[in-house]
Amino acid sequence: MSIADFSGRIRPDACPGALQVHEAADGPLARVRLPGGAATPAQLHALADCSEEFGSGVIELTSRANVQVRGLHSPAAFAEHLAAAGLLPSVAHERVRNIVASPMSGRGARGVVDVLAVVRALDLALCGRKRLAGLPGRFLFAVDDGTGDVSGLGADVTWVPGGRLLLAGWDTGLVCSPEAAVPLMLAAAEAFLDERPDGAPLAWRIQELENGPARITARLTADPAVRALMTVPATGSTGQDPTNDPVPGPTIDSASGPTIDSASGPTIHHPTNDPATRPPADRQVAPLERADAERRAGRLTQRDGRVALKVLVPLGRLTPAQLRALADSGPAVRLTPWRTAVSLDLSPEAADRAERALAEAGLVTDPASPWAGVTACTGRPGCGKALADVQADARRWVEGQAAAPGTPVHWAGCERRCGVPRGQVVELIATADGYRRQPQ
């Protein structure tokens, strides 16, 4: 994307947070950042309590493994209770703590690194740099455990095992040790701020800057302090170890986005398959092909023999009781960028109990569930622009299905198509007289 593509923006990014709420049609909406999708059971209970006490009781999972609470009648009291629960560590940085991470965190068959320590260090260091409070609320960090799940999300700054740094899905050729990962990622974020056009700070993502990844890479390699972090000189290599399979990730091809929800402002449409916006072929990371698996529920066997239980949240929307059931499902719960959750480190017997309790709460652990791959925007009554109650329509549609759709299906309340997933998807877009299917 070039600078001209966002020249029509008339205001800085207005992504909501826990303090800067969005005035939705159903009342103020707050977005709570959970770096790496991680929260303690006590914190998840606190979120459920806050939603019940200060909001409408509607809790939403986002595509960045964060949580939204709708219909707040006392935003200030809500924020105070979040802070007391340890969910608001920095008032100045609360909207920029956008960090996704591999939910299994080294426990799966392909994962090689427990990334939670990196996530925590990144969050702490991010909140410790005053300047980085000026990042847009949509700027995204990702830490991949080697699975190739979050490296395929097109984050602005991604670190993967082997020390490779990706910028907007572009392999920079920069490599560092795990100990240097956090300072290198933050240096890239500061370089993004340096590269934004003077007097027009309206680029929210690296891919929105013309030749953004290349410009930021050049700035990093020109800095002696940053070069000292690298374990391999940046000489044009992609930084891939030729003895290993490349970690899957995206090309710079934003066919589906970025699109946004009703809380975030105007949609910016990126060019699709435009060679002028794509990096050279030797710097593109191989396409991610596991998105469908990430959307499905079921059991996984961890490396240590214990069980991880993937939980599907229908349409990414929870009641307070359902969030409490998730919190109580196991010793460690992670929210995911696919609007699902994973309960980790379970014995087979504990997994049996968790499955029963989650099913009773209305959540899904059956891998054959027709809910897999079905998403929807907020729709009516939460969004004033929506032409239909897409959540209710999607639920009725799923009730009539015997199995999950072969291709993900997204229900949209208007032509803005908020929340449409990346990759191939069938869209059902509300119109004045029904729904239009896209593609036909």
User: In one letter, which amino acid is 101?
Assistant: A
Is position 253 within any domain?
Answer: yes
Which tens digit of pLDDT belongs to each residue from 111-151? 999 999 999 999 999 999 999 999 999 999 999 999 999 99
Whether 275 has a pLDDT exceeding 60, the answer reads: no
**Is there a single domain that holds both residue 170 and residue 316?**
no
> Which tens digit of pLDDT belongs to each residue from 78-114?
999 999 999 999 999 999 999 999 999 999 999 999 9
- Residue 269 is predicted with a pLDDT of 28
Domain limit, last residue, from 229, 256, 283: 283
Number of domains in the chain: 3
pLDDT given at position 14 = 78
pLDDT category at 250 given cuts 50, 70, 90 is: very low
CATH of the domain at 393: 3.30.413.10
Task: Choose one of 360, 388, 408: the last residue of a domain.
Answer: 360
Query: Does residue 283 surpass a pLDDT of 80?
Result: no
Q: Would residue 269 count as lying in a domain? A: yes
Contacts of 372 (CB under 8 A, 6+ apart): 295, 296, 297, 312, 404, 405
In a domain, 312, yes or no: yes
- Asked if residue 35 has pLDDT above 50, the reply is yes
- pLDDT tens profile 188-235: 999 999 998 764 467 899 999 999 999 999 999 999 999 999 985 444
Q: Is residue 67 part of a domain?
A: no
| 396 Cβ contact partners less than 8 Å away, ≥ 6 residues apart | none
Question: How far from the centroid of its chain's Cα atoms is residue 297's Cα?
Answer: 18
Judge if 243 and 104 occupy the same domain. Answer: yes
- Are 155 and 220 in the same domain? yes
Closest alpha carbon to 141 in 162, 155, 127: 155
Q: Show the domain range for 384.
A: 374-438
Q: Select the more confidently predicted residue: 244 or 403.
A: 403
Residue that terminates a domain, selected from 312, 332, 360: 360
Q: Does the residue 431 lie in any domain?
A: yes
Q: Do 428 and 339 share a structural domain?
A: no
Q: How confident is the model at residue 13 (pLDDT cuts 50, 70, 90)?
A: confident
Contact 375, 101 (CB under 8 A): no
- Give CA–CA dist 31/8, Å, rounded: 26
In this predicted structure, what is the pLDDT of residue 66? 98
| Percent of the chain predicted with pLDDT > 90 | 77
Q: What is the pLDDT of residue 198?
A: 65
Residue 40 resides in a domain: no
pLDDT of residue 231: 84
Give the CA distances from residue 12 to residues 130, 135, 195, 261, 268, in Å, rounded to whole numbers and listed in that order: 18, 10, 16, 16, 13
